Structure 1
C-alpha cells in the first residue's frame, strides 16, 4: 500500500523487507507429514491441484475496466476494477509472471480462499486468472486504504480504534491458527480499512502463511516484527514455526498503534532499544522500564509484555489481548520527551 514513513525512536514504521525472500523453508519429507500443520498442507495441496486445472486464461481488459491502483508491493500490485458486464467493483491483485512462480501464486490464492469465510479476513470472489503477463485473483475492495495510512507519528491511532483493531485481528488470527496455519505477516500494511474508525477491518496478503511446523531458516535481515527465536536461530535445519510468531508480531503492531513508532529496530541484543526491553522483561522492575513505554498504562504494558515474552513457550496467544480491551491503555495527559531518532 502507500508508503507512510514514521521516523521516531527507532525506525520508520513501515518495515520494508518482510517478504518470503527473508527465509528458506522446508515443507517436504516425512517430517512435514507428521507436523501439526500436516492436515492444512494436505487440504491446500488438494485445492492447488483443483485450481490449477480450472485457472481462467484471459486478458484483464477483456472482462475488467481498471479504475485506479490501490496498492503496490515488492512482488505485485492491486488495482480497483469494474466487471464490464455486471458492474461489480473488485480488487484485482496482479503478480508478474516474469517474477512469480505459478505454484507461489496458486498457493497464496488457495490460502486466502480457504480463510475468506471469517468476517475479519478479506473476502474472495473465487476467481483466479492467468493473462499473458500476469497471474491474478479478485477480492473485495477496501477503499479506505490500510492501517498504516492512519497511524500518526508520535501518536498512533485513537485508543477506541486500537481496541477495535485488537478485537478483530485477534479473532482473525485465532481462526487462522485453528486451521493449522501461521500467518507470519502481521503488520499494519496488511490490515485493510473499510471505514476510517476501524469499526470494520480485514486481514489480507497470505503469501507468507505456512502450516504449523514448517521449518524456517532466516537468511536475510531482522525487522521489528521478527520474533527473537527466529532472529537468533543458527540451526542448519531451521526452526519449526508456531503461532507464537504471530503473537510476537501482534504485540509489536499493538505497540505501534498506541505510540506511532516501533519499540525497536531489530529484535537482537545489538539493538539498544531491544536490549532495554530484554532487561525490563527479565527484571520486571519499574526502574528498568524503557522510557518510550511510559506513556502506556500498567494494563497495556502487562498485555504487551505477555504477547512479547522472550520465551515463545511463555508467550500469550493472540486472544490474550482480549482480556485487556476494557482497561485504559494510554496514560491520560501524558507529556513525555520526544524520542531521539537513531543516528
Structure 2
C-alpha cells in the first residue's frame, strides 16, 4: 500500500551528476515538476464526503496493512468502480495525493490500471477511484514449484514490459514490481495491468535501502559503498525486478532470497554460473528453463546496472520456448550457453 508513514526506503529528491547523464537528469527533474503541479491542484479538488454518501459497497477486493480496496457502485449511476481507501492513521495527506497523481499521470496506458480523477477525503480515510479488476491479482495464479503455463507467462511479461516502458518514458521508475501489484482482468493473463504507485519516483531520486533486501531488490541497492547518500534510481531497477518476476512465473520459485553473494548461496551459485558459462555450474533452481529463457534472464539480471538489458528486451524472445517440455529431449548446451 502507498503513502505509508515510515516507508521502507529512505529518499532524498536530489540528483548526483556523477551517476546520471544530462538527459537522464532532465527527465527526472521534469517528472518531479509535473507531479508537484498536479499535487497542488489535486489537493484543492478533494471531495469531502463519507463513502456511503456517494457509493454502495459491494465487496472487498483487497486488504493491506494500511488500507483496503472495495468494489463500489455509484449511488446514482450504478457504475462499478474500485475504491482504494487509506487510513489517515497510517497515511499522510501528501503520500496519498502523490499516489493518486502518479496514477492519473500513467493511467492512459492499456496495461496500467486507470485512475479516475476523483479524490475523496472522509473523516478517517483518503480514497480514490480506479477501474475494478474482478479476477484478483497475479499472486493467486502462481503455483508453488510450477509457476504459470508458458503462454500465460509470456503474455503477462509482455504486458508488464510495455507498462514499465511507459512509466520510464515519463521520467519515472516504478520500484514495486511484484505479483501482488499485477491485477488480472481476463483469465489466462490475456489482460493484466500494473497498479499501486506509492513507491514510484522520478528518475534520479536518491534512494537509501533502510531494511533488508528482498529477491526483487537490485544488487546495486545493497552496496554499502553507496550509503548513506543513496543511489540515484534508474529504470534498470525495474528491469531487475522484471527478471525476478519472470523467473517466478516460469518456475514457481524465487531465484534467491536476496542478491548478496556472501549471505545467499543461491545468488552466489548464479554468479558462479554467469562467470563460467558451464552447464555443470547450472544452479538447481534453473533446471527446466530453455537456453532462450537463460539468455533473456541473463540480460535482465545482469548485476551491472549499466549493462543490464532494458525491460523491452523481452520482445525479442516472445514466441520462443522458455520452458523445457516434459519428456522432451535432453538439453543440448555448449559451455558458452550459460548466462554471461
Fold match, TM over 0.5?
Answer: yes
- Unmatched 5+ stretches in structure 2: 329-340
CA 1:291–1:187: 2 relative to 1, 3 Å: same
Q: How far does the alpha carbon of each residue in 1:222-273 deviate from its partner, in whole angstroms, 9 at most, with x for none?
A: 1000000002244221000000000000000000000011011111111111
1:295-306 map, 5 Å: 295-306=288-299
Q: Structure 1-normalised TM-score? A: 0.89
Determine if the alignment matches structure 1 residue 157 to structure 2 residue 148.
Answer: yes
Task: Show the counterpart of 1:315.
Answer: 308
CA apart distance, 1:283: 2.1
TM alignment of 1:1-343, pairs within 5 A:
21-28=7-14, 34=25, 36-234=27-225, 235-269=227-261, 270-333=263-326
Contact 2:10 2:208 in 1 (8 A): yes
Quote the offset at 1:19 in angstroms.
10
Contact 1:218-1:230 within 8 A present in 2 as well: yes
TM-score (norm 2): 0.90
Change in 2 beyond 3 A, CA 1:66/1:130: same
Count of paired positions: 319
Secondary structure, counterpart of 1:282 in structure 2: helix
How far the C-alpha of 1:21 sits from its partner, in A, is 2.2
- Check whether the contact 2:243–2:297 (CA below 8 A) recurs between aligned residues: yes
Secondary structure of the 1:67 match is: strand
Q: Is the 8 A contact 1:69 1:79 kept in 2?
A: yes
8 A Cα contact 1:295 1:331, kept in partner = yes
SS in 1 for 2:187: coil
Quote the Cα distance in structure 1 between the aligned partners of 2:242 and 2:15.
Answer: 31
| Runs of 4 or more above 4 Å deviation | 28-35
Q: Output the aligned Cα RMSD.
A: 2.0
Gap regions ≥5 residues in structure 1: 2-17, 336-343
Higher relative contact order structure (alpha carbons within 8 Å, sequence separation ≥ 6): 1
Cα distance in 2 for partners of 1:28, 1:84 equals: 45
Deviations 1:128-169 (A, max 9, x none): 100000000000000000011111111111111111111111
Hey, what does 1:341 align to over in structure 2? none
CA 1:248/1:20 → structure 2, altered by over 3 Å: closer, same or farther?
Answer: farther
